[in-house]
Amino acid sequence: MNHMSSIIIHPAEIKDLETIRHIGKLTFSETFAENNSEDAMKKYLEESFSTEKMLSELNNPDSYFFIAWEENDPVGYLKVNAGKAQTEMQDETSLEIERIYVKKSHHGKKVGQILYNQALETARSLKKSYLWLGVWEQNERALNFYRKNGFTEFDKHIFVLGDDEQTDLMMKKILD
């Protein structure tokens, strides 16, 4: 018998703000805490997941949030951006996957794949011609995941967390 309950994806709305804040902070720190100073991490989380910032992101008509639920437990989330909401490029034909985060407890349970499929579906329904994203060059897990899903690297960018410069690989996938 397989007791794994199924994962359901729901679009997030304003009422889900606290859920996204909570799961956003949790999954971000699980992913990056060991590679960054506690202070840098704390500052980043406070700024990136402040109520004001989350509210304006949720209110942006070009950003789409989805939460993965296992019964009443939020286990991951997706944020995609179109048009001017994209962090760069801002090509009308592209959709950016800004975040796919899954709780550590649910790694390896296909939650990331389900969220990614939602991003793909969103891109298709918005008639976009490609998906793109940036991945930290040392995040092997994520790099392998996107390569497996047909993404290829096309550029690299530097981003700063605290006093630390880190490199993001830019990847894209052309949709047929």
How would you label 138-166 residue by residue, b for 16+ Cβ within 10 Å and e otherwise? ebeebbebbeebebeeeeeeeeebeeeeb
Q: Please give the angle made by the CA atoms of 119, 122 and 124, to the nearest 5 degrees.
A: 110
Give me the residues paired with residue 66 across strands.
11, 78
Residues 2 and 27: their CA atoms lie apart, in Å, by 26
> Catalytic pick from 77, 101, 116, 146?
146
146 is catalytic: yes
Q: Please give the angle made by the CA atoms of 92, 98 and 103, to the nearest 5 degrees.
A: 155
Catalytically annotated residues:
146
